[in-house]
């Protein structure tokens, strides 16, 4: 079969699934739209998953046309798989509702945008993919029509407009200097290109919630539905990291690029962890900790270490199930659970409490869970590049993370005196639908398998990183 057809199949399937879900949305029963969306996400993920470690190619490299704007390599396939799987998880969080029948279609559109961004090798597809996932995410943020949700969507919209403007100006400067819009144009060493690279990094840093462009993250995690947060925190973040990997490979002007990544990453690690220390809300804590994790990814990319590509991909693969599990558990407890609502959760609701505890252990980077290896990769990349200052900041950030993650972890195992007698949730736990339980179990299994036996995943990701352009 022609390589172009195979490479473009996931995008065509996602687009078709989004259209079908939109056509089914006005029906009285929303379940057909959700089934169509889930089927499309699975069908789009399978070809990319099967070809994840295969050799690289560029769609349309001989024929030109619009397919020449998309890469078909290990990075693109990895981004497509993560986008589709996070979309499936989002559908499990997003309850079929007559009040929000368009939710299924929005999830698929967001996954399509993230997949397009993952494969982008040109300014046009970069901007198109980024805006598709951003606009769909904003619509998902405001679905509950509550004040926190509307505030989260409004902040992301306003700040996202600034980021989009920075990206467009960056492309304009690059085109003025080189006459090209492909990623290879950023290797030009002119002053205009350097200025454009600074603006490009600022625009992408907003999408990655790096300091000082992180202000939207805690508000979105607190006010938006878990489904929307899983798209913004996993699918969108993975796609942006892949774009940064591609841009770093073409050697943009220095020290603007790697220096900017390292500086923004170090600030994000410190500020994200310090601000997370003060939080009593689980979702807001996850928002600030996501800023810190984005900082870890940025310093890996800015280190220039030979292992950086593999380390970044493994970090994303291990971070995704941990964040999904924490979001799913938070959604099961309540719209914005605080420490007092998590007291003795392991004993009151064993499945939710146990998986939440495992996700916190993984996010903290402790052994057995997948997150332990992400810390090893982070430290290895910084050691390889002899970035001693960044290594010290990463160690301090990890120590701070242990404190606030364990604060919530201990709360899940302990209860205040007299709570059993006063709280009827001890005897009548709230119902938790099967899709949510399936997501929790799948994420727990992934965290344990990756943490205990990471060899197969490391092999696949190493091949994907090596096979990429």
Partnered with residue 120 across adjacent β-strands are 70
pLDDT in tens, the chain (469 residues): 455 777 888 999 999 999 999 998 887 667 888 889 999 999 999 988 888 766 544 443 433 334 578 888 888 899 999 999 999 988 887 665 445 678 889 999 999 999 999 999 889 999 999 999 999 999 888 888 888 888 888 888 888 888 899 999 999 998 888 888 888 888 877 888 889 889 999 999 988 989 888 888 888 888 888 888 888 889 999 999 999 999 988 878 888 888 899 999 999 999 999 999 988 889 899 999 999 999 999 999 988 888 989 999 999 999 999 999 999 888 888 777 888 888 888 888 888 889 999 999 999 988 888 889 999 999 999 998 888 899 999 999 999 999 999 999 998 888 765 554 444 444 445 556 777 788 889 999 999 999 899 888 888 888 887 765 5
Element at 168 (helix H, strand E): helix 147-178
Structural domain contains residue 82:
no
Q: CA–CA separation, 435 vs 374, rounded Å? A: 28
**CB-based contact 317:456 (threshold 8 Å):** no
Q: Which residue carries 């939440």 as its tokens?
A: 356
147 in any annotated domain: no
How far is residue 38's CA from residue 87's CA, in Å, rounded to a whole number?
A: 8
What residue has token string 């040109």?
A: 122
The answer to whether 277 touches 404, Cβ cutoff 8 Å, is: yes
Backbone angles phi, psi at 338, to 5 degrees: -105, 175
Domain range for 357 is 294-469
| 28 DSSP β-pair partners | none
Is the overall model pTM greater than 0.75, yes or no?
Answer: yes
Is 249 part of a structural domain of the chain?
no
Asked if the structure places residue 316 within a domain, the reply is yes
Instruction: Examine residue 403 and state whether it is found in any structural domain, yes or no.
Output: yes
Beta strands in 317-469 (DSSP E): none
408 located within any domain: yes
CA angle 53, 56, 60 (to 5 degrees): 135
Q: CA-CA distances (angstroms) from residue 50 to 7, 45, 90, 289, 438?
A: 12, 9, 23, 32, 23
Q: Kindly state whether residue 257 falls inside one of the protein's structural domains.
A: no
Indicate the pairing of strand 57-58 with strand 71-72. Answer: antiparallel
The set of residues, in sequence order, having a beta carbon less than 8 Å from that of 371 and lying 6+ positions away, is 318, 319, 322, 361, 362, 363, 364, 365, 447, 451
> What is the rounded distance in angstroms from the CA atom of residue 83 to the CA atom of residue 132?
13
Q: How many CB atoms lie within 10 A of CB 72?
A: 26
Domain count, the chain: 1
In a domain, 201, yes or no: no
- What residues are paired with 70 via a beta bridge? 120
């Amino acid at each position: 079969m022609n390589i172009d057809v195979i490479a473009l199949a996931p995008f065509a399937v996602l687009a078709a699934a989004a259209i079908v879900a939109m056509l089914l949305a006005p029906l009285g029963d929303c379940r057909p739209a959700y089934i169509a969306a889930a089927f499309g996400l699975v069908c789009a993920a399978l070809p990319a998953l099967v070809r994840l470690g295969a050799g690289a190619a560029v769609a349309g490299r001989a024929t030109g046309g619009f397919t020449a704007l998309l890469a078909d390599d290990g990075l693109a396939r990895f981004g497509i798989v993560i986008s589709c799987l996070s979309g499936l998880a989002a559908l499990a969080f997003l309850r079929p509702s007559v009040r929000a029948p368009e939710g299924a279609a929005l999830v698929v559109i967001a996954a399509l945008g993230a997949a397009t961004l993952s494969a982008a090798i040109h300014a046009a597809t970069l901007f198109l993919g980024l805006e598709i996932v951003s606009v769909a995410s904003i619509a998902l943020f405001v679905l509950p029509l509550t004040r926190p949700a509307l505030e989260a969507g409004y902040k992301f919209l306003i700040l996202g407009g600034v980021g989009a403007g920075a990206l467009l100006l960056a492309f304009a400067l690059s085109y003025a200097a080189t006459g090209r819009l492909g990623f290879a144009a950023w290797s030009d060493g002119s002053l205009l290109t350097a200025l454009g690279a600074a603006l490009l990094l600022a625009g992408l840093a907003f999408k990655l919630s790096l300091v000082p462009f992180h202000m939207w993250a805690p508000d979105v995690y607190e006010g938006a539905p878990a489904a929307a947060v899983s798209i913004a925190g996993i699918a969108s973040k993975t796609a942006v990291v892949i774009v940064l990997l591609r841009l770093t490979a073409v050697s943009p002007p220095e020290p603007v690029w790697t220096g900017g990544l390292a500086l923004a990453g170090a600030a994000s690690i410190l500020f994200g962890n310090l601000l997370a220390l003060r939080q009593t809300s689980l979702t807001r804590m996850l928002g600030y900790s996501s800023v810190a994790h984005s900082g870890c990814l940025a310093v890996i990319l800015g280190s220039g270490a030979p292992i950086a590509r593999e380390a970044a991909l493994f970090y994303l693969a291990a971070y995704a199930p941990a964040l999904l599990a924490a979001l799913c558990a938070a959604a099961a407890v309540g719209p914005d659970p605080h420490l007092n609502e998590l007291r003795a959760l392991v004993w009151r609701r064993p499945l939710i409490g146990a998986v939440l505890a495992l996700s916190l252990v993984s996010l903290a980077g402790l052994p057995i869970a997948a997150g332990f290896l992400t810390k090893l990769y982070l430290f290895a990349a910084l050691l390889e590049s002899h970035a001693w200052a960044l290594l010290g900041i990463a160690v301090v950030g990890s120590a701070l993370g242990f404190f606030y993650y364990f604060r919530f972890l201990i709360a899940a195992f302990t209860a205040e005196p007299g709570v059993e007698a006063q709280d009827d949730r001890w005897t009548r736990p709230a119902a938790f639908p099967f899709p949510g339980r399936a997501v929790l179990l799948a994420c727990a299994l992934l965290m344990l398998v990756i943490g205990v036996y990471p060899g197969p995943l490391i092999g696949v990701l190493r091949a994907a990183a090596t096979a990429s352009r």
